[in-house]
Copies of this chain bind each other. A is one copy, B any other.
Amino acid sequence: MKNKPDDLISILEQKETFYPFMRSGKCRFGVPNTAELNEFMELIKAILFPGYFSRQTIEADTFGNYLKVNLLNMQTILTSIIHKGYCFDCENDEKSCAHTVTESAGMSERFIETLPLIKELLISDIEATFLGDPASKSHGEVILCYPVIQAMIHYRVAHQLYKSGVPIVPRMITEMAHSLTGIDIHPGAEIGKNFTIDHGTGVVIGETCVIGNNVKLYQGVTLGAKSFPLDDNGNPIKGIARHPIVGNNVIIYANATILGRIRIGENAVIGGNTWVTRDVPANEKVLL
């Protein structure tokens, strides 16, 4: 390249001088990356659903070792991911990074203790999915083929990391599932047991949603924000509760849009293509 590209480089360099469109790697640990996150999620799936998603052979008499080896690998990778997440966040605040590898290792260990809970919830989601779909042939088919199960594995893992305060990583994990399935669940949402989504493409579940037990959604359902209070500069104020609260046993049909901090009462049925921005009493049906 001749002089012109040199000018170009100096332009691109100049543009880099303004934060935050470059990561300089102050912390020397880099940014959480897709390859590492994929490896982490593959180990999670190998541990929670042995024999489904990895080619490792499972034997009754070596199963304890299989779990132990995969748990150890997973813990090591998660420690690295969490530490990068903290570095990412520190640099963002332009503070010095006080989080240490030891601290990240501790969080990784505490995450592992939530695995039995995560598994229990996922098994309830699989059961709800199997029972709810006349097309499903077996629990095995549901685990192996249904997008909602991929979305829920990612969400339930991300939600535990979110609750323990790990920055950036939970959102990256749910966005991986969003890309794979078209199901967009914010890791901050709270979702009860026996949850299922049929088909799934286009579903949006916002950050401050609270969803009860035995809830079923269809494709294209939005549980979103209606409007947000603005600050003095006219920008949305962050972190305010602004998404729906959905009671137990609610069914929401395809492409319904439910917006704002409203309550959908227990056993309510929300019809397809509806636009709902007010409370819905328990046991009520909302149709187009």
Among the listed B25, B133, B168, which residue makes an inter-chain contact with A51, where contact means beta carbons less than 8 Å apart? B25
Among B50, B132, B147, B288, point to the contact of A179 (Cβ < 8 A): B147
Most buried by B among A52, A53, A206: A52
User: How close is A226's CB to chain B, nearest CB, in angstroms?
Assistant: 10
> A180 — which chain B residues lie within 8 A by C-beta?
179
| Complex interface: chain B residues within 8 A of A240 (CB) | 134
13 additional A-B residue pairs with CB within 8 Å, beyond A4-B113, A25-B59: A12-B47, A15-B120, A20-B138, A21-B143, A22-B49, A24-B58, A24-B60, A92-B138, A92-B139, A134-B237, A145-B175, A147-B175, A204-B254
Given known pairs A133-B236, A220-B255, the reply for A22 and B51 (CB within 8 Å) is yes
Copy total for this chain: 3
Contacts of A101 in B (CB 8 A): none
Binding site for B on A (CB under 8 A): 1, 4-5, 8-13, 15-16, 20-25, 30-33, 47-53, 55, 57-60, 63-64, 67-68, 71-72, 75, 88-89, 91-92, 109, 112-113, 115-116, 119-120, 123, 126, 131-141, 143-147, 167-168, 171-172, 175, 178-182, 184, 186, 188, 199, 201-202, 204, 206-207, 218-220, 222, 224-225, 228, 235-240, 242, 254-255, 257, 259, 272-273, 275, 288
Chain B residues, Cβ within 8 Å of A59: 24-25
In whole angstroms, how far apart are the Cα atoms of A135 and B186 in the complex? 9
Contact of A131 among B9, B22, B188, B235 (CB under 8 A): B235
The chain B residue sitting closest to A242, CB to CB, is B134
A72 proximity list for chain B (CB < 8 A): 1
- Verify A167–B199 contact, CB threshold 8 A: no
A9 engages B68 (CB within 8 Å) = yes
